[in-house]
Structure 1
Amino acid sequence: MKGGVNMPIGEICNREVVIVRKEDSILEAAKLMREYHVGDVVVVDDREGRVIPLGILTDRDIVVELIAKEVPLDSVSVQDVMSEDLISASENRGVWDTIQCMRARGIRRIVVVDDGGGLVGILSIDDLLELLSGELSDLAKLSMKEWDREKETRG
């Protein structure tokens, strides 16, 4: 994963996105989260042969909005709980710009879309931390090599 903060997010986003439809049940969505070991599902609609993201449903949404309020899970659908204020980013957007957007909006994940608004993937804070920790490690190695080279030349 070289390229760092100038890399387009389409190159590092997770393209294996777990999706649901807005009419699906909360129980179905929760089972998918468990099966695929994810904390969110992207709510989509099919338009003209494209998968278009409409919103996102997180495990936290289910806990805070339903379980903590003792709402019977069979009485609500994904549409009733999902976050409709979906924040998305173009697959061509740079890493640094995306981080700034996520920070400004206080979000831990962002849906990645193509130029037509079709779902490409999802990018999480964990994906970004993995990329940036690799970049920092490379920087630290550079510093150590420079130090070793100086030691060799000065005896």
Structure 2
Amino acid sequence: MLVREKMKAAVFLNPGETVAAAARRLRKDNIGCLPVCQDGRLLGMITDRDIAMRSVADGRNADKMTVGEAMSVDAICCTTDDSIEKAATIMREAHVQRLAVINDDRQLVGVISMTDLEGGSSERRPFEVIFYKEILDHAGLPHHSQLMRVSVAQGTKQEAVGAAISQFEETKRVTNWNTVADGYDVLSIHIGETGESIEVLELTSERDAEIRPRAHALWEQAGLPEGQDARFWEQAALDVDSEGRSPK
């Protein structure tokens, strides 16, 4: 299979854009690098490390420094006619996760990532897990007050939630996240067919409201053991999700 069959539409920056704008775009798309093009021709790549080393570390003003000044000119790329095996080898040897794809005239025609080659782009993607405390606003209506957002670079939703809970508990110095937070929402991020960043927010408060009393009941039935909260939560979650899939 050739790269042209797996690549996605190219999202790129102009060399005249500011480093601040580039940083915002990298954060929005949750990626570490973007191609830099002039009139469609690939000039280089700008990475989060370029921004850190050439702008922040040198005390440059990110709102005035341009992408052209900060970018790396030796962009690692492949062509549309390369095999996906060759593209994967290039990425592994260069220790990068994505490549610019060019044609014979060095025109940027797409991008390809290791995730694309592994065939998991629809399931393994960046997530943000947002922990919240539920409070009442001035009108007496429930409102989510954000406690912490945890970004997870890649994985399934289940893996992302697990990693986020561990980080939340470590940061808050608690053994069980729900002693501090009332719930969490999950924001999944992926790149659309035309290269745009698409965010989907899954509100988990209603699901958690069903899980919490069931998990507590399981814990009580087991004799109130310590350090096994996650096991009871997972069992209750499986029960709730199974019932949700069952025909009514």
Q: Same-fold call, TM > 0.5?
A: yes
CA distance in 2, matches of 1:28, 1:72: 12
TM-score using structure 1 length: 0.67
Q: Please point out which of 9, 22, 31 is paired with 2:24.
A: 31
* Greater relative contact order structure (CA < 8 Å, 6+ sep): 1
CA distance in 1, matches of 2:35, 2:61: 22
For residue 19 of structure 1, give the secondary structure of its aligned residue in structure 2. coil
Q: Please point out which of 89, 95, 116 is paired with 1:100.
A: 89
Asked whether the equivalents of residues 29 and 78 of structure 1 are also in contact (C-alpha less than 8 Å), the reply is yes
Asked whether the equivalents of residues 62 and 81 of structure 1 are also in contact (C-alpha less than 8 Å), the reply is yes
CA deviation digits over 1:67-121, x for unaligned, max 9?
Answer: 2444321342111111100122111100111222223333322111123322111
Superposed structure 1 runs of 4+ greater than 4 Å apart: none
Q: Please point out which of 77, 82, 97 is paired with 2:66.
A: 77
Considering fraction of residues, name the structure with more helix: 1
CA distance in 1, matches of 2:98, 2:28: 20
CA deviation digits over 1:11-63, x for unaligned, max 9?
Answer: 11121x221111211112122223334332210011xxxx1111111223223
Structure 2 runs not aligned, ≥5 long: 121-248
CA distance in 2, matches of 1:61, 1:28: 14
In terms of Rg, which structure is larger?
A: 2
Structure 1 runs not aligned, ≥5 long: 1-6, 132-155
What RMSD in Å do the two structures reach over aligned CA positions? 2.4
- Report how many residues are paired: 122
Q: Name the structure 2 match of 1:128.
A: 117
Asked whether the equivalents of residues 109 and 124 of structure 1 are also in contact (C-alpha less than 8 Å), the reply is yes
